[in-house]
Every structure is written in C-alpha cells, then in structure tokens.
C-alpha cells in the first residue's frame, strides 16, 4: 500500500513539473502560429489553453498535449484573408469567419469519432509513420531557425556578430543542461527542461544580457504583450457571420481540410506516444475530444488546434504520463496570461529554442539511417517521400500520399503473385489450380492464364490456394464461366469460400450447377471456416 501511494505521489510530482515546462514551451509556439494565421497572439494563447485543457481531461491519450499548431495556421492564412476581403476595411470579418470555421471543424471531428473513423489510423504503414516523425522533426527544427533573426526596419534579418554568438551560446547551454542532468545519478528525476529554462533565464536577467525574450518576440510581431483577461464567449461571431448557404459554401472546404489535418496529426501523435509509453490510447475518444475542444474554442474566440508533437514529447520525456500534466500545462498557461505575463515575457527565446532542439533530436527516428539498406526499396521511397512532403507542403498531404503509394505498391506486388498450375485428369478434364489473391489488381493476369479456345470440353478451376477478395474478382469469375459456356464447354468451380459462393448464387442461378459443393478436402474446410476449427481446438 505504501509503495502504491509513493508511486502515485511521484507521478503527481512529475506531471506537475512537466506540465509547467510544457506551459513555458507553449507560449512562443502559440504566439508564432497566431502570427502565421494573421490573428492576435492572445487568440493563439486562448486556443492553446482551451484545447489543451479539454483534450487533457476528456481525450483518449493521457500525457498528450494539444494546442494551436502551425499545420493548421498555414491553412487559416487564406481563410482570414478571404474573410477580410468580404467585409469593409477594418471590420476584421475574416477573424469571425475563422471562429465559425473552427466550430464547424470541431463538429466534423466529433462525427468522425462517433462514426469510429479513428481506427483507420491503424492502416497507416510503418514507413509512413517513420517519415511523418522525421518530417515533423525537420519542420520543428526549421521553425526554430526563425528565432535567430531580429526585426530591423520592419524586416527580419539574421543575427550577426556578438548577438549571434550569444544566442548560440545560450541555446547550447540549455541543451547541455538537458543532456547533462540525466547523466548525474542524483539528478535523474529532476525535470531537466524546466531547470534548463530557469538557469538560462536567471543568467540573462541577472547579467542584464541584451537578447530576444518572449516579450520582445511578441512586440516584434506586432502584438502588445502577453497579458490578457479570462476568455469569454464570443457571441459577436453569430452577429457578424450570416448563417446562409453562401457562408457554408465558403467555410465548409476550409473546415474539412482543417478537420482532416487536425485528426491526422493528433492520431499519429497519439500512435507515437503509444510507442514511447508502451500503452494504448483510444483514437475515437480522441477524435471526439479534439472536436469538442475546437467547438468550445471557436465559441470563445480561439483559433483552433490539435495535438502538438513537440510539446507532447517534452511532456513524456519530462515524466508526464497522466491527464494531470496536460491540465497543469493549460492552467499554468492561463495563469501566465492573467497574472504572470511580466515574468514570462522575460524568459529568453534562446532557452525555449534549446528545449525545442532537444525535442528535434529526441523525435527524429535516427534508426531510419541504420535500416536504409535493410528495408525494401519501396518502403525506403515511401519514407523519404513522406518526410519530404511534410516539409514542403503539410502533414495531411504527406500522410495521404504515403498511404496511397503504399497501397499501390501493395496492390501491385499482390497482383503479380497470381499463379495458375495446370494439369490433366485421367478423364481428360483440364484443371487450373489458382494460387494467390484474386482482386482488382490481379484480374488481368488471372484472365491471361486461360485458353478458352484450345481447352478440352471439361474444365475445373480450383481456388483452394486463392482468396477471392472483392467484387472485381467475382465479376472476373462470372466472365470466365460465360466464356467457356459460350463455346459449349463444361466448367466447374471448386474450393470457393462461403461468402464468394453466396454472392455468385445471388448473381445467377446457373452457378448452383457450376460450383462443386461436395468436396472431401481438409485444406478447404480449414480455409473456408477457420473459426469453427479454432473453436474445436479450444473445446478439446
């Protein structure tokens, strides 16, 4: 009992400390993505708070962090711009169209969860998953390079000289602390990311170093600061955005794209956290939680969001495993906005960049280099393709392209496996023994195996080593039977599965004469009814 309580207390401590670290890392990310989308920084921060809180409480993956993300922000840019063009100058109508779109996006995600579409994430092949991880690590790394620029005359230019070396030194110090603390036996359980941020922040503040901070980052982007009030319902959206067919036509395509990107990123991040923690999350529950969070966020004036792989990795590496870690991160973020803005604005950007660089190192699947020569060339192509598309375009395009290419490769490889072994019986009947899967991709090869014109008057097609997989395969069987009958030859089909026979009987009564039912072959009975075989084993 004592051990159980100690374990729980230890988890609470880890969740709280990890949640505080994540909250600090959320600030510049949420602000940066708000700037990308063309909205006020507080809109990004409110989204990070509300989405993070709701998904942490009700989501299907404890320990996963959600908030405003860049993958969604890049889609929102054109939405806000088009919405602004539809209103008068200074009306900011695009902002209200954004809120309406986020609400619709959430509703779509809720329906995806209710319809249990989250389980389809299991169909994503491992090369796609590895490509996603590598691509996202590169995207996170590239996004941090922008922090090495300063605002000069309204333009972003690279840091130079003393400023550049100081920035690099502080980033390196942060990374060194995060790497070194776990190497010390007595300090293994300490939250290295939080300690690194506190140490580097203290050095900058007490040495009065002239470096970029969270506050200067917000002001350089055009924001007024981190301080804000408690998020309140934004009923103005319903007054500004007319509920008409034209509005639906405008926001629906954006809502569908945002919902798809949000769910793909969230569910793939969930899979990654599952692998890291060796536990299993609930994909459909996560879909509903993400959707509900976006509906609430849209109603309260947030920009919407989804799972954040960088912050999720920080949380898991920091020992955050339970829902409490995400709740603490969201609540602390709100506390920063309400009461601690003046302190958080003093945190140097270099410390947060160092933390994110360590996330990049921990996220990238370095094992992919080791297996380059050990995996099929097609899997290697998919891995590189997904990584590249994630960097060039976005996650949704990369994953969808990767799944399509993997499916085409799988179909092609299976299409070439169809075989037909031919032999003659003593009575002159020619037998075609079909091997391999029969589906839309292998039909052309299947048809080439038969010589209708020169075959004898009696033909048998044996499917004992084949599996009829789809309607195209059934249509191919139907056509081959008709070809033989059209030239007056007798044909019989053997060893078809029960489902296949049932469908063929429905298509035409003549198949009751063509299909051979009375078969004495144990291989066929095992293949046709594996459930009864397994049941028999257990009964014995």
> How do residues 468-519 score in pLDDT, each as one tens digit?
888 888 899 999 999 999 999 999 998 888 888 888 888 788 888 888 876 5
pLDDT over 70 percentage in the chain: 92
Strand intervals (E) in 243-318: 306-307
Residue 511 lies in a domain: yes
**pLDDT tens digit sequence for 284-333:** 999 999 999 999 999 998 899 999 888 898 899 888 889 999 999 999 99
Q: Give me the CATH number covering residue 512.
A: 3.30.750.24
The answer to whether residues 417 and 444 touch, using CB atoms and an 8 Å cutoff, is no
Residues 363 and 421 in one domain: no
Banded model confidence at residue 534, pLDDT cuts 50, 70, 90: very low
Residues 424 and 401 in one domain: no
Q: With a cut of 90, say whether residue 32 has pLDDT above it.
A: no
Helix or strand or coil: residue 348? strand
- Identify the H or E element spanning 463: strand 458-468
- CA atoms of 110 and 257, how far apart (whole Å): 15
Task: Name the nearest CA neighbour of 356 among 171, 154, 531.
Answer: 171
- Domain boundary residue among 407, 425, 458? 407
| Average pLDDT over every residue of 332-351 | 89
Residue 2 lies in a domain: no
Residue 492 lies in a domain: yes
pTM above 0.85?
A: no
What residue spans of 278-306 are helical by DSSP H? 283-299
Q: With a cut of 60, say whether residue 522 has pLDDT above it.
A: no
Return the pLDDT at 90: 66
- Domain boundary residue among 386, 407, 428? 407
Residue 127 lies in a domain: yes
Residues 403 and 421 in one domain: no
Residues 319 and 250 in one domain: yes
Residue 291 lies in a domain: yes
Residues 493 and 392 in one domain: no
| Overall number of domains in the chain | 2
Residues 443 and 395 in one domain: no
Structure tokens given for 289: 């939680």
Return the pLDDT at 492: 92
* Residue 465 backbone dihedrals phi, psi, to 5 degrees: -105, 20
Residues 383 and 450 in one domain: no
Q: Which of 229-233, 291-295, 301-305, 398-402 has the highest mean pLDDT?
A: 291-295
Residue 400 lies in a domain: yes
Task: Name the nearest CA neighbour of 303 among 109, 103, 107, 139.
Answer: 103
500: domain range? Answer: 416-539
**pLDDT tens digit sequence for 114-151:** 999 888 877 788 898 888 888 888 888 888 888 898 87
Residues 104 and 200 in one domain: yes
Residues 286 and 421 in one domain: no
Return the pLDDT at 293: 96
The answer to whether residues 351 and 358 touch, using CB atoms and an 8 Å cutoff, is no
Residues 68 and 216 in one domain: yes
Residues 357 and 472 in one domain: no
- Domain boundary residue among 407, 429, 462? 407
Residues 94 and 221 in one domain: yes
Work out the number of other CB atoms within 10 angstroms of the CB of residue 507: 13
Strand intervals (E) in 175-264: none
Residue 1 lies in a domain: no
Residue 22 lies in a domain: yes
């Amino acid at each position: 009992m004592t051990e159980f309580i100690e374990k729980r207390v230890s988890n609470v401590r880890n969740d709280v400390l990890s949640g505080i670290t994540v909250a600090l890392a959320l600030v510049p990310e949420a602000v940066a993505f708000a700037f990308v989308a063309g909205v006020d920084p507080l809109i990004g921060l409110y989204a990070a708070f509300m989405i993070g809180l709701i998904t942490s409480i009700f989501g299907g993956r404890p320990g996963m962090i959600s908030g405003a993300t860049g993958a969604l922000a890049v889609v929102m840019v054109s939405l806000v711009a088009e919405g602004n063009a539809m209103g008068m100058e200074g009306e900011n109508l695009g902002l209200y169209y954004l809120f309406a779109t986020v609400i619709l996006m959430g509703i779509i995600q809720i329906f995806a969860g209710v319809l249990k579409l989250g389980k389809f994430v299991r169909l994503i092949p491992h090369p796609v998953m590895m490509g996603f991880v590598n691509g996202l690590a590169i995207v996170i790394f590239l996004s941090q390079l922008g922090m090495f620029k300063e605002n000069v005359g309204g333009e972003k230019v690279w840091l130079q000289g003393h400023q550049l070396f100081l920035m690099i030194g502080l980033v390196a110090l942060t990374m060194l602390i995060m790497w070194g603390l776990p190497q010390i036996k007595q300090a293994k359980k300490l939250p290295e990311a939080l300690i690194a941020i506190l140490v580097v922040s203290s050095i900058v503040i007490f040495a009065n170093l002239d470096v970029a901070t969270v506050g200067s980052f917000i002001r350089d982007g055009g924001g007024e600061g981190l301080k804000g009030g408690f998020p309140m319902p934004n009923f103005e959206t319903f007054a500004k955005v007319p509920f008409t067919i034209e509005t639906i036509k405008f926001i629906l395509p954006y809502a569908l794209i945002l919902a798809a990107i949000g769910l793909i990123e969230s569910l793939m991040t969930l899979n990654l956290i599952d692998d890291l923690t060796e536990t299993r999350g609930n994909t459909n529950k996560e879909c509903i939680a993400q959707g509900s969070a976006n509906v609430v966020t849209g109603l309260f004036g947030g920009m919407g969001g989804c799972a954040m792989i960088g912050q999720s990795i920080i949380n898991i590496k920091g020992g955050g495993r339970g829902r409490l870690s995400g709740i603490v991160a969201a609540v602390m973020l709100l506390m920063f906005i309400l009461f601690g803005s003046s302190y958080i604005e003093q945190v140097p950007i270099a410390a947060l960049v160092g933390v994110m660089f360590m996330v990049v190192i921990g996220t990238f699947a370095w094992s992919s280099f080791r297996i380059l020569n050990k995996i099929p060339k097609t899997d290697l192509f998919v891995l590189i393709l997904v990584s590249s598309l994630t960097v060039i375009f976005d996650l949704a395009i990369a994953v969808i392209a990767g799944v399509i290419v993997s499916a085409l490769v799988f179909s092609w490889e299976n299409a070439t496996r169809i075989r037909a072994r031919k032999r003659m019986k003593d009575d002159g009947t020619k037998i075609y023994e079909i091997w391999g899967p029969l589906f839309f991709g292998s039909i052309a090869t299947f048809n080439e195996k038969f010589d209708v014109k020169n075959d004898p008057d009696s033909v048998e097609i044996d499917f004992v080593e084949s599996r009829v997989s789809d309607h195209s395969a059934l249509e191919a069987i139907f056509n081959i039977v008709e070809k033989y009958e059209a030239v007056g030859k007798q044909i019989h089909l053997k060893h078809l599965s029960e489902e296949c026979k049932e469908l063929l009987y429905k298509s035409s009564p003549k198949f009751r004469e063509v299909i051979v039912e009375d078969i004495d072959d144990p291989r066929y009975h095992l293949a046709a009814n594996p459930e009864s075989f397994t049941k028999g084993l257990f009964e014995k």
